[in-house]
Structure 1
Amino acid sequence: MSIPATISKKARKLIGISYEEQGMPYVEQVDSEGNRVNVVEQKIYIKKSFMTIPSSLRLIHTNKLLRTPSLLPIISNLQDLPYKYKPINNGKNKEIRDVTVERLIIGGGTSGLASMRENSLLITREELGDILFDEYTLERSFIIEELKKLYKYYQNHIISGRFLGKFDEGLVFDTVDQILIVKANEIVLAGGGRCLKPIFPGNNTPGIVSREFYLKRLKNKFQKILVLGYTDLAARTALHAKKSTILVPNNITISLSPYYKEQLDKKGVEISNGNIYNIESNNGKLIVQTDKTTLEADLIVFSVSKQPRLEITSSVGIGYIYDAGRHLYVPVHDQLGRNKNLFIVGGMRGIDNEYLSYLSGKASKGEEIDRFLEELKKYNPNQQNESPYNYGNGGIVCECEDISMEDINFALSLGIEKDVEKLKRITGLGTGHCQGKACTINLGDYLKSSRLISYRSPIYPVIL
């Protein structure tokens, strides 16, 4: 089974594609004929590179030759950029339609569907979400049954589309054949969270993928996986494979509930500690060398935590706080998830428990509030002093722009503060295709930066 790989934009090196979600690094590309392609859906898509280009911030800043005005256009032409685009829909523009609703729900996973009620409109990029693929979720059968009932009852009020952000005209969504401009009296943000890649040498090697990518497209296709994580989320990932090992970074204490600890013991899942200093591919296997042992796997799956999709909440004007103990950047909300006329539910507020996500959606419409608050008190993720994204010294931070930890450290040596926004201005971090979705949060936590970048609309690529 091959993993999608491509050539990096600047360094022109062969790298793996780690995410399956549109808008993330290298998932959408333009081929030599100008066609827009989804690399993940095509299973594998590798372009050949006739050369590699040294990509180093230190080299650019200290070498006057590379900053010569006549040389800069030549360097940019060597980068892996498209030369032409083919028009889609025969060059026809999509119809723009204004919609006014009482209650708008953005996201159709567990908490989004649970938020549905009369006079609601739900717009989502996927239906039901991770629970369809995660077989080791507690209360899974009950939740899926309830969600399917809601979906069947409200199916005429559910639209497939991507949220592009808030504009002066309203909240804008890109659907198959229309651009919707929506105004609503009440908004529920249920866009969920995503697992982000830890930082370590060789972290862009082909064969390193997110939990979502693994569960939705690669589950049961690899015999042995190495899971990067330390909580029940990592345990639930590891249990899907025939053989698996969980690797916990140094200075992080593994935090497992008794139930999942028992399940791991029953299946013989090993737990190892250590930081990664080298990864090699050998005959379809990934050889992972840590400071304590050598591990072998067919696939590496990062499952550290589910980070809320801040680009969605930031677009509608909601701030965030840095939870240094849980290592999450969480949108500002009260106990029930309220922020003025908005509700933030499920993974969008940092919850990775499906049952609690379900109850948070119910609570947003005034149902099951007491039960939700009771379960919320029990939900107490382990606090860690050090960043769980620190799996080693070095590695790529921003895949879109080939920004490494070496580049970050060089910028810091120039006197730049440990502030992601300021580092972005010096390094170009977060300015590529994904606009910081894949790199700013894990780097922010690594540096303990309370401020990230400004996520601006449109928050996903738009084809004009």
Structure 2
Amino acid sequence: MTDDSEPYVDIYVNNKLVKVPRVLPIGAALYKAGIYSLEKSMRFNRPRGLMVFDWRGPEKIYVEGDFEYNPYLFKASDGIKIRIKLSTPLPKSLLKVFDGYLRVGGYNKWPFNRMWAWNIALKYVDDILPWNKPKYVKEPIKEYPKSINVDTDILVVGGGYSGLEAAYNASKSGLKTTLVEADSLGGHLNIYRHGMYNEDYLNKLLKGLKENDVYILGNTVFEGFFEDSAFGYKLDTDQLITFSYKVIIFATGSYEVPALYEYNDLPKTLLASAGLRLYYKYGVKPGDNIVIIGSTDRAFQTAIQLKEDGFKVRVIESFYKGFKYSELRAKALELGIEIYDKVSKITALGYDRVSGLKVVQEGQVIKLNVDSILHAPYIVPDIELIRMARSPLTFDIDLGGYVPIHDVNGATLVDNIFIAGSAGGVSTEEIYIRQAALAGLKASEYLGKSLPSKYDDILNELNEVIGKTPLYRNALNRLENAFKKKEGYVYFNGIHPTFYRGSDLRRTFVCFCTDVTLEDIKKTVTGMELRKMEHIKRYSGVGTGRCQGRRCFLNTLLAASMFTGLKPTEIGEIRSRPPYIPIPLYVIGGE
């Protein structure tokens, strides 16, 4: 045992003693200790990766005698025992017997498709497998946490720099403004240093929010909507929060979609933002020899930043090019970063971690010595809460897929809902920061306040920046026309932006939570002829895991489109239901 003054604590992982830093979330602490996976692949019976390291990520740890926790939110304490199931102690010959049931649709086979089998299971399984009985080891909760009601004029959801900009400009008019954020204020500003905005800019905004009396609810997740109100969950105090507002601004940001290639689920595979968060927030290296997959601004920004800090970095380009592609690519080449373009196939090598990468570039096979892979091939807006709010969406592949219909000011087709920042589909800060400022100003105008003279200056600056790139200029013109006509459109060039087409579909994962591969999606939409997203979800299980489709929805949608020739909108969407992340039942039971 250790005392509180020591920097390390003793924990047990599968009964093995491991010393980890006291100050780190358990996920980062385990990664630093050389434990790169928290669960196994049912398909290949080995450790499984894709790590997100985010408060809304799908990773979970199981603490003996306690509950299931998000490893990003749960800190290590002395003596805790963690169970990680990384393989099954059964021979491969026996596993093959059950292989058909592990694959998509297996539960539709005999005997799982017979009611009598389930009746027997329900009657006898508790006696046959007594170790599956729930263990109620915690004392009953004596006092339920009291709920909080927040009444405000303008509610801003998201405290990245778009949310801060929107809240700052909305609050200038004197309207009561509340900002909700689950993580650190500033969002990606805390991990990315390449861009027009920096720590001085963040401090200026925070000072302005304080001067304008903006109420900041930190450690709080905006969970969605009941029939009669919006609600949230305060992570640090386990309290339910209800919100009353006149206008809501969604500044929920954007995130990377995983690349699709063979064995893309190996441990030490991370989203680009997860790799940077590990290193710049917690001091844990994602690897030493790193490959970054993507041609987005975020991919090249990640590569440049890590290269400048001494990492060996290479880039494998994807099909989607970012706003500042030419500029950032040139800078990466100046720094000596190797860039592989025209790659048709990628295969990750390794078993319990990435040990190499094999790529096919214009017919030539190249083997790379790497120990970590970071993904940023395509950036999508986080629209789950916007979808819950029933703000109409449209589909534009140049804006990240499904995107809320809105104008340049962030006004949507629902009167009191505004969109700010990259939640609107543009993942370039020069554009979305200015747009977020306009959203804040227009939200206050909606409530009867006059627009300040600086509104025109910001709008002119924004239009000037947009005019520099045909891609965003054309995409935002399409979106503006959709807003004026009050109807959606479909813009899709037929290219799947994350898929390397030479990859073996059987070894390319779409849904990491439920082990669904591209082959499974192909069989579902062509063999079973299930062509609607909700049907694909129910049959294959894609999107039913812990992330509820955040990381796999777009890849599944575009794969189904690729296999059937249907437009993405003909396949449709998945339904978003509250809560955004799970809430303990005792929290809902509070007063």
TM-score under structure 1 normalisation? 0.88
Runs (4+) off by over 6 Å: none
Equivalent residue letter for 1:422: H
2:209 and 2:49 mapped to 1: Cα distance? Answer: 36
1:307 and 1:169 mapped to 2: Cα distance? Answer: 30
- Alpha-carbon shift at residue 246 of structure 1 (Å): 1.2
The question of 1:39 aligning with 2:75 is answered: no
Equivalent position of 1:412 in the other structure: 525
The question of 1:309 aligning with 2:309 is answered: no
In proportion to residue count, which structure has more strand?
A: 1
Q: Could you tell which deviates more after superposition, 125-134 or 399-408?
A: 399-408
The question of 1:374 aligning with 2:464 is answered: yes
Work out which of the residue numbers 110, 119, 123 in structure 2 matches 1:64: 110
Q: Could you tell which deviates more after superposition, 352-361 or 236-245?
A: 352-361
Alignment deviations for residues 183-210 of structure 1 (CA, whole Å, 9 cap, x no partner) = 1111110011111212222111101101
Equivalent residue letter for 1:172: F
Q: Does the C-alpha gap of structure 1 residues 445 and 47 become closer, same or farther in structure 2, counting only changes over 3 Å?
A: same
Equivalent position of 1:245 in the other structure: 314
Is 1:32–1:82's contact at 8 Å kept on the other side of the alignment? Answer: no
**Unaligned runs of at least 5 residues, structure 1:** none
1:232 and 1:146 mapped to 2: Cα distance? Answer: 25
TM-score under structure 2 normalisation? 0.70
Equivalent residue letter for 2:104: L
Q: How do 1:33-432 and structure 2 match up within 5 A?
A: 33-40=65-72, 46-49=84-87, 50-51=89-90, 54=99, 55-57=102-104, 59-61=106-108, 63-65=109-111, 67=113, 73=121, 83-84=134-135, 90=141, 92-116=143-167, 117=171, 118=174, 119-126=176-183, 127-140=185-198, 143-153=201-211, 157-160=215-218, 161-175=220-234, 176-177=236-237, 178-218=239-279, 221=285, 222-241=287-306, 242-249=311-318, 256-273=324-341, 274-281=343-350, 286-292=355-361, 293-339=366-412, 340-366=415-441, 367=455, 368-378=458-468, 380-381=470-471, 385-391=494-500, 392-394=503-505, 395-432=508-545
Q: Does the C-alpha gap of structure 1 residues 58 and 47 become closer, same or farther in structure 2, counting only changes over 3 Å?
A: closer
Alignment deviations for residues 412-440 of structure 1 (CA, whole Å, 9 cap, x no partner) = 23342543222112212111222111211
The DSSP-based 3-state class of the residue aligned with 2:152 is: strand
- Alpha-carbon shift at residue 131 of structure 1 (Å): 1.2
1:30 and 1:212 mapped to 2: Cα distance? Answer: 25
Q: Does the C-alpha gap of structure 1 residues 446 and 159 become closer, same or farther in structure 2, counting only changes over 3 Å?
A: same
Is 1:8–1:400's contact at 8 Å kept on the other side of the alignment? Answer: no
Equivalent residue letter for 2:297: D
- Alpha-carbon shift at residue 140 of structure 1 (Å): 3.0
**CA-atom RMSD, angstroms?**
3.2
Alignment deviations for residues 132-183 of structure 1 (CA, whole Å, 9 cap, x no partner) = 2101123435533433333443576101100110112311011133211111
- Alpha-carbon shift at residue 313 of structure 1 (Å): 0.5
Identity of aligned residues (%): 20
2:52 and 2:68 mapped to 1: Cα distance? Answer: 17
Is 2:266–2:353's contact at 8 Å kept on the other side of the alignment? Answer: no
Alignment deviations for residues 73-123 of structure 1 (CA, whole Å, 9 cap, x no partner) = 59x999x99944665994643212222211000000011001121410001
Alignment deviations for residues 254-279 of structure 1 (CA, whole Å, 9 cap, x no partner) = 87544312320221111113244532
Alignment deviations for residues 330-368 of structure 1 (CA, whole Å, 9 cap, x no partner) = 112112111121110111111222232321221113343
Q: Does the C-alpha gap of structure 1 residues 141 and 97 become closer, same or farther in structure 2, counting only changes over 3 Å?
A: closer
1:14 and 1:428 mapped to 2: Cα distance? Answer: 20
The structure showing larger relative contact order (alpha-carbon pairs under 8 Å, at least 6 residues apart) is: 1
- Alpha-carbon shift at residue 60 of structure 1 (Å): 4.8
In proportion to residue count, which structure has more helix?
A: 2
Q: Does the C-alpha gap of structure 1 residues 302 and 42 become closer, same or farther in structure 2, counting only changes over 3 Å?
A: farther
Q: Does the C-alpha gap of structure 1 residues 252 and 296 become closer, same or farther in structure 2, counting only changes over 3 Å?
A: farther
Q: Does the C-alpha gap of structure 1 residues 254 and 171 become closer, same or farther in structure 2, counting only changes over 3 Å?
A: closer
The question of 1:6 aligning with 2:38 is answered: yes
Equivalent position of 2:11 in the other structure: none
